[in-house]
Amino acid sequence: MFYYLNGKITVLEAGLAVVDCAGVGYACHCSTYTQSQLRVGEERRLYTHVNVKEDAFDIYGFSGREELRLFELLTGVTGVGPASALAILSVLSPDQLTLAILTGDEKAITRAKGIGAKSAKRIILELKDKIGGELDFSAGTGASGAVVLPQDSGKVALATAALAELGYSQSEAAAALKGADAEKLSVEELVRYGLRAMVLK
């Protein structure tokens, strides 16, 4: 219904931001992550998801499209409603949530209020393929543009997927992970290794 709202932020309260668009104030439910990037009096654009029910018309606003995408993916998981999705996005940034899902980090997701281990497992199970499934991890010579990976490097493939989801190209991710000891490091440690390598290069 609304793709985004563009206007001045006039009110910031816990879990809520009001955007003034041509004199009309739109109340948007927001995560702590989005609110941390807003200031009263500033002109901002919030990407929106509208939830229409018989007795409610709720607008959810996000500072970026990636957070909106994750919110919509989360609310598509069985048993996860808008409030739970916002709770998750309030304790994990989009990048952190993406990494948690790709690496199967249930503990990180259960930091959100009202999210137990069972729900965290379901989120990871239902979203892992949706978030990382479109990436190409085929082993090969590299002539076709596919990432060249050792044949037994499942952890490296997952780490490459996580880095790609964080905005790096697959070639950058593969180069950053070159030399990492995949046998000794966990997927999460491999991702940290890759991030450090790209920062220091």
Average pLDDT, the chain: 84
The fold for domain 65-132 equals DNA polymerase; domain 1 (1.10.150)
Which sequence spans correspond to the domains of the chain? 4-62, 65-132, 154-200
pLDDT in tens, 10-59: 999 999 999 999 999 999 999 999 999 999 999 999 999 998 887 778 99
- How would CATH label the architecture of 154-200? Orthogonal Bundle (1.10)
Q: Write out residues in the chain with pLDDT < 70, as ranges.
A: 1, 132-153, 199-201
The angle formed by the CA atoms of residues 147, 153 and 159, to the nearest 5 degrees, is 65
Cα separation, 90 vs 85, whole angstroms: 9
- Fold agreement between 4-62 and 154-200: no
Which amino acid is located at 189 in the chain?
A: E
The fold for domain 4-62 equals OB fold (Dihydrolipoamide Acetyltransferase, E2P) (2.40.50)
